[in-house]
Amino acid sequence: MPSSARPALVLQHGDSGPPDLLERWLRERELPHLVHPAWRDPLPGDPSRFAFVASLGSQWSPAPDSGAPGWVADEVAFLRAAVDRGVPVLGLCFGGQALAAALGARVRRAARGEVGWSDVETRDPDLIPPGPWLQFHWDVFDVPAGATEVARSATGPAAFTAGPHLGLQFHPETTPEVADGWARVERDRLATLGLTPESLLAQGRAVAERAAAAAFALFDRWYAR
Query: In whole angstroms, what separates CA 16 from the centre of its chain?
Result: 14
Q: Residue length, the chain?
A: 225
75 three-state secondary structure: helix
Q: Is 167 within 8 Å of 160 (Cβ atoms)? A: yes
Q: What is the pLDDT along the chain (225 residues), one digit of tens a residue?
A: 444 589 999 999 999 999 999 999 999 999 999 999 999 999 998 999 999 999 999 999 999 888 999 999 999 999 999 999 999 999 999 999 999 999 999 999 998 999 999 999 999 999 999 999 999 999 999 999 999 999 999 999 999 999 999 999 999 999 999 999 999 999 999 999 999 999 999 999 999 999 999 999 999 999 999
State the pLDDT at residue 175.
Answer: 98
Helix ranges, 85-130 (H): 94-102
Cα R_g (the chain), whole angstroms: 16
State the pLDDT at residue 3.
Answer: 45
Taking the CB of residue 199, how many other CB atoms lie within 10 A of it?
13
State the pLDDT at residue 54.
Answer: 98
- What's this model's pTM, rounded to 2 decimal places? 0.96
The domain locations on the chain are: 8-224
State the pLDDT at residue 1.
Answer: 43
Beta strand 165-168 with 89-92 is parallel
State the pLDDT at residue 64.
Answer: 87
- The verdict on domain 8-224 having CATH code 3.40.50.880 is yes
Positions marked active-site: 93, 171, 173
Burial class (CB in 10 A: 0-12, 13-18, 19+), 209: exposed
Q: How far is CA 129 from CA 11, 52, 117, in A?
A: 24, 21, 14
